[in-house]
């Protein structure tokens, strides 16, 4: 199972690295602590909508484009990880002491 915060962080980090930006630069521009932004990128923290808006603005991307990319990544993961449907396994028959005694 993939967590939303993990995918969100991966997308934000990819955008930052694509543009050759540092954590310090983006955190300063977004008005967030460097350590907090690092945690968001690693999927350890889930950013509020306000923080996400500030990070996206600092990166020069729209929230909708980030969310669409996250959704695409999650959809791909869900398709790979969706379990196939199996019939339930039959239960083992329970044998009681009385049934065993009668079998002798």
Q: Does 99 have pLDDT greater than 50?
A: no
CATH of domain 4-81: 1.10.260.40
Confidence grade of residue 2 (pLDDT, cut at 50, 70, 90): confident
Per-residue pLDDT at 90: 57
Per-residue pLDDT at 100: 45
pTM: 0.75
Helix (H, G, I), strand (E, B) or coil at 44: coil
- Domain edges within the chain: 4-81
What is the spatial distance between Cα 52 and Cα 58, in angstroms, rounded to a whole number? 10
Question: What is the per-residue pLDDT across 3-39, written as a single tens digit (0 to 9) for each?
Answer: 999 999 999 999 999 999 999 999 999 999 999 999 9
Measured in whole angstroms, the distance separating CA 9 from the mean position of its chain's CA atoms is 8
Alpha helices, DSSP H, located in 1-104: 4-18, 23-30, 34-42, 49-59, 63-81, 97-102
């Amino acid at each position: 199972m993939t967590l939303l915060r993990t995918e969100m962080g991966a997308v934000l980090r990819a955008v930052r690295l694509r543009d050759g930006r540092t954590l310090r630069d983006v955190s300063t521009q977004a008005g967030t602590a460097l350590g907090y932004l690092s945690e968001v990128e690693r999927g350890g923290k889930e950013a509020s909508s306000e923080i996400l808006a500030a990070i996206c603005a600092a990166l020069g991307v729209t929230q909708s484009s980030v969310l669409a990319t996250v959704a695409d990544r999650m959809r791909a993961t869900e398709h790979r990880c969706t379990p196939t449907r199996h019939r339930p396994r039959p239960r083992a028959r329970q044998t009681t002491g009385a049934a065993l005694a009668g079998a002798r």
